[in-house]
């Protein structure tokens, strides 16, 4: 979809969208369109209707002959002081879905929010466009027989504002964010016969075009490094495992503490059968997105490079396929991780933590990062605890945890902190090895997974994001179509820009 910005003017074709405040109060743009339409808006608002101008309400009306437009859409804005970046993004996404469902090919959005909002006119226009762009995402490359009405119709959206040039400038970084989100959504949406460790590594290598250094470790190199925990997960698959290292150099490496990188580590299980501890058949197809954590790391590094973020960052993804076979690891096996700690594998379906154990240790030993954040679709238990509205957050550092919470609120990717404690840690003491990969029962499953990871963290600020409940959506939301969400890309980018680029 093409997005453009223009000075306010009466549209000559397509749909026109104007705003209405709560209580049916017209914005200036709505008043101008109403006058040009011979009072059509006033008549529509005076008719019996549940539309009152509350946030997220829409009221379409046919455009009268006096107006060269196909239809007028009244968009509820809520109270004037309530307009902010998040609500405007939601409005843009909601409008895209509505106009597309109506079969419109082009539309002009004329939303002027006044002086009481927390954002100016240029930023408001950019945020509306950003929301529409996020919602426009589709993964339909494998559909060959779509009917015309099933295909997207809206190809051109114009956002009218008195600050058109400023809006274009405000939209440029948001457009880069959307591209990074779309990359992540694409990777997560691909089937496991297309995205597997080798091809996901190839996708990462494509980031070199943006100035990112990419290095791929094969199984021989990982074996030399002692990454036996990661390799054990993939040993049952015909697809060889990989570990990919991505580096973005945004500041001089000699620039004191700022020269040390921020580190992001992602779980990349490209398909998870559970291994010998095999999952039920129902829903197993969803396990193509058990690599969502790694896809978020790719998307984040792409975004940091695209906007030339003034930080050094490293992204590391452990890529494996967890399959049952005659060579697969068995429940009861003991492996020696890169850290030297031995792990008793009591359940081969608790595999993501084995991958991360070696990836986290490698990251710390090689790069000595300022902080390390891992992302993983680690446990179904976090869905039981938090549903699909928030990701689980675990951290050994209060400041880092607080910053993640605030960044999540600002971009609408919220996290909820859960505890870590010695009492939980004792649950994974093993009789036969240093640690076992599951606890003694089903209780506190997401906490147990985080406690396991913490055993492979040295003295560095660390946070673990369990995104099992937020990586995929089974229904549409304002800015996220059903499917892969890319949860975490915007959250971590905001964390970086807000707290680590301005030091």
> Active-site positions?
279, 353
Residue 214 Cα to chain centre, angstroms? 22
**Nearest-CA neighbor of 91 among 71, 74, 113, 75?**
75
- Cα(83)–Cα(80) distance, integer angstroms: 6
Q: Are 19 and 77 in contact (CB under 8 A)?
A: yes
Q: Name, in order, each residue with C-beta under 8 angstroms of 206's C-beta and a sequence gap of 6 or more.
A: none
190: exposed, middle or buried (C-beta count within 10 Å: 0-12, 13-18, 19+)? Answer: buried
Please name the residue ranges forming H helices in 102-163.
Answer: 121-135
**Nearest-CA neighbor of 498 among 242, 311, 226?**
311
- Cα(408)–Cα(390) distance, integer angstroms: 9
Q: Tokens representing 481?
A: 């179509």
DSSP state of 63: P
Q: Are 375 and 468 in contact (CB under 8 A)?
A: no
- Cα(354)–Cα(386) distance, integer angstroms: 24
Q: How many residues does the chain have?
A: 503
E strand intervals along 37-87: 58-62, 71-76
Q: Are 45 and 51 in contact (CB under 8 A)?
A: yes
Helix (H) or strand (E) holding 415: strand 415-417
């Amino acid at each position: 979809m093409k997005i453009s910005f223009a000075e306010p003017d009466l549209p000559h074709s397509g749909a026109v969208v104007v705003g209405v405040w709560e209580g049916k109060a017209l914005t200036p743009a709505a008043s101008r369109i109403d006058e040009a339409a011979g009072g059509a808006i006033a008549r529509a608002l005076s008719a019996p209707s549940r539309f009152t101008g509350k946030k997220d309400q829409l009221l379409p009306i046919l455009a009268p002959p006096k107006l060269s437009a196909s239809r007028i859409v009244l968009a509820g804005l809520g109270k004037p002081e309530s307009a902010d970046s998040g609500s405007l993004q939601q409005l843009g996404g909601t409008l895209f879905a509505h106009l597309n469902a109506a079969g419109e090919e082009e539309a002009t959005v004329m939303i002027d929010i006044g002086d009481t909002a927390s954002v100016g006119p240029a930023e408001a226009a950019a945020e509306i466009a950003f929301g529409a762009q996020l919602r426009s995402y589709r993964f339909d490359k494998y559909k060959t027989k779509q009917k015309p009405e099933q295909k997207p119709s809206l190809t051109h959206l114009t956002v009218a504002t008195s600050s058109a040039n400023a809006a274009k400038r405000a939209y440029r970084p948001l457009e880069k964010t959307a591209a990074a989100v779309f990359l992540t959504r694409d990777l997560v949406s691909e089937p496991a016969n297309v995205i597997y460790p080798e091809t996901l590594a190839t996708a990462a290598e494509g980031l070199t075009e943006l100035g990112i250094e990419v290095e791929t470790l094969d199984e021989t190199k990982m074996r030399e490094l002692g990454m036996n925990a990661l390799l054990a997960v993939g040993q049952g698959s015909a697809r060889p495992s990989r570990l990919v290292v991505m580096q973005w150099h945004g500041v001089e490496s000699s620039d004191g503490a700022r020269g040390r990188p921020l580190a992001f580590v992602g779980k990349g299980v490209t398909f998870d059968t559970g291994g010998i501890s095999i999952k039920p058949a129902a829903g197993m197809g969803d396990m193509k997105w058990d690599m969502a954590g790694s896809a978020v790391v790719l998307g984040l590094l792409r975004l940091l490079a695209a906007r030339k973020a003034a930080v050094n960052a490293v992204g590391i993804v452990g890529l494996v396929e967890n399959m049952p076979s005659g060579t697969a690891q068995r429940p009861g096996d003991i492996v020696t991780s890169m850290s030297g700690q031995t792990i008793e594998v009591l359940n081969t379906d608790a595999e993501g933590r084995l991958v991360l154990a070696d990836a986290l240790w490698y990251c710390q030993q090689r790069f000595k990062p300022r902080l390390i954040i891992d992302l993983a679709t680690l446990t179904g238990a976090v869905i039981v605890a938090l549903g699909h509205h928030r990701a689980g957050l675990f951290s050994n550092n209060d400041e880092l945890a607080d910053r993640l919470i605030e960044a999540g609120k600002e971009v609408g990717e919220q996290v909820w902190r859960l505890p870590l404690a010695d009492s939980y840690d004792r649950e994974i003491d093993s009789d036969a090895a240093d640690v076992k990969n599951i606890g003694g029962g089903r209780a506190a499953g997401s906490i147990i997974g985080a406690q396991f990871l913490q055993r492979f963290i040295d003295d560095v600020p660390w946070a673990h994001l369990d995104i099992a409940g937020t990586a995929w959506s089974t229904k549409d939301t304002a800015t996220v179509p059903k499917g892969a969400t890319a949860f975490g890309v915007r959250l971590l980018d905001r964390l970086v820009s807000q707290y680590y680029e301005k030091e």
